[in-house]
Structure 1
Amino acid sequence: MKVLIFGASGMVGLGVLRECLVAADVTQVTTIGRTPADTSLFRRDRMDAGFNYAVSHKLRQVTHADMFDYAAIEPLLAGYDACFFCLGVSSLGMREDDYARITYDLTLAAARTLRRLNPGMRFVYVSGASTDSSEQGKTMWARVKGRTENALLGLGFGGAFMFRPGAMIAMHGVRSKTLAYRILYPVLGPLLPLARLIWPDQILTTELIGRAMLEAARRGAAKGVLESPDIRRLAAGGT
């Protein structure tokens, strides 16, 4: 299986990148972004002792400045089985039109190009808990995310799956690029494992999300929109 990852330098993107690199059935993984993913962040442990992520024969990192236009690199985007789209920004302090440009316009620019080049591709989009599929709610970011999800589901991919994770625990050295998350995580992070014991279906790890995304790429899923409990089941081999 050959996969593309957009946003591999972010927390979820790094998580799925690591799972792709250690998965035996993934023969090639290509990252697309303004900056390459820092694979040195991955912590060595018993599971992957001696594995050199940075020089893995199946990793190819493509640096691309204009994430709204892919004409210059189209030959590099053809021939893939799946795409994991993990790009996103916080809506804090943003106007709706600015947030929509980065969330909706940027995502659809990539997705429409990939649909044309890889019509049978499975496309996994990282959305968020409480996304508004009606596109009519009061919360700006939720409306925009809902509009983005609906557009992706209607593009006609071989499969399109909207992941809506909530709280996440970063594993294997993965960390968020979002400043607010990096400030809050040292404070709230130690409480997340306890919260996971109380609400096991609602607290996910970057490893678990990555594994679920790979399962969606391999076999698909029972529905197009997956909340945290659905993601957990998919990672465990369910649908």
Structure 2
Amino acid sequence: MKIIITGATGMIGEGILLASLDHPDITVVLMVNRRASSLKHPKLSELIVKDFTDMAAQKNQLTGYDGCFFCAGTSSFGMNEDKYNQITFYTTIMFAKQLAGFNPDMVFFYLSGVYADSSENGKIMWARIKGKTENALNKLHFKVAYSFRPGFITPLKTQKNVRWIYKGLKLIYPFVFPNQTLTYDKIVSALIRTLTLGYHKNVLEIKDLKFIAKQAISNPF
């Protein structure tokens, strides 16, 4: 199985990348980054793209993939709505439109947020824009597009890009809120099973990811 990953130089993207490299059903991983990564692995290759909204020149390098884990993004902290919309909605949709044109049989997975607002009418700016992005992705010409909302993810020991607050929370949060906590291994297992077998919802909440990951363990391919 051949996978594209974006956002691999960020915290969650890095965790998804490392878990993907360890997954036995994933044979090829292409990370699409704006800046180079020092990570090396036999399954891994890298494509540096300066502008995610214009990838026509990289068409051949982005063709022939089964899935994409889109983990690129930014925090809304200190950012006005127009700027956050440009990064979170516009850039994501432009990237996805091009990728769908290159790979119409691809399954696309978008890293969203637990409180994303699918109605697009709520008071929380980032949640509205995340919800708008989820909805727009469902209209593109992929085989299918899913949005996953993972909640708190326990950092991997091998991760380098872990925010300091997560280093403390990982000692407490999984024990106090086990139903709101996931591991990267379970997320990737859930995404790969969904890519292969499909799922009845386009938005994968924490409980969905846990359920699918459990199915992957108890009923492997």
Q: Same fold (TM over 0.5)?
A: yes
Q: CA deviation at 1:202?
A: 1.1
Aligned to 2:23: 23
- Name 1:237's counterpart in structure 2: 215
CA-atom RMSD in angstroms: 1.8
* Matching of residue 12 in structure 1 with residue 12 in structure 2: yes
Deviation of 1:204 after TM superposition, in Å, equals: 1.1
Q: Which residue of 2 aligns with 1:215?
A: 193
Query: How many Å separate the matches in 1 of 2:181 and 2:38?
Result: 25
Within 2, Cα distance between the matches of 1:90 and 1:152?
A: 20
Deviation (angstroms), 1:167: 1.5
Which residue type is aligned with residue 32 of structure 1? V
Q: Secondary structure at the match of 1:210?
A: helix
**Residue pair 1:10, 1:175 contacting (<8 A) in 2 also:** no
Aligned counterpart in structure 2 of residue 186 of structure 1, from 167, 170, 193: 167
Alignment partner, residue 205 of structure 1: 183
Unaligned runs of 5+ in 2: none
Whether 1:55 and 2:45 are equivalent positions in the alignment is: no
Q: Is 1:85 aligned to 2:63, yes or no?
A: no
Q: What pairs with 1:124-163 in structure 2 (closer than 5 Å)? A: 124-163=109-148
Structure 1 stretches of 4+ with a deviation exceeding 4 A read none
CA contact (8 A) 2:190 2:213 kept: yes
Q: TM-score if structure 1 supplies the norm length?
A: 0.85
Aligned residues: 217
Amino acid at match of 2:136: A
The answer to whether the 8 Å contact 1:16/1:213 transfers is: no
Identity %: 41
The structure showing larger relative contact order (alpha-carbon pairs under 8 Å, at least 6 residues apart) is 1
- Does the Cα contact within 8 Å between 1:14 and 1:37 map onto a contact in 2? no
Provide the TM-score with structure 2 as the length reference.
0.91
Distance 1:213 1:187, change over 3 A: same
Q: CA deviation at 1:206?
A: 2.2
The answer (yes or no) to whether the contact 2:69–2:109 under 8 Å persists in 1 is: yes
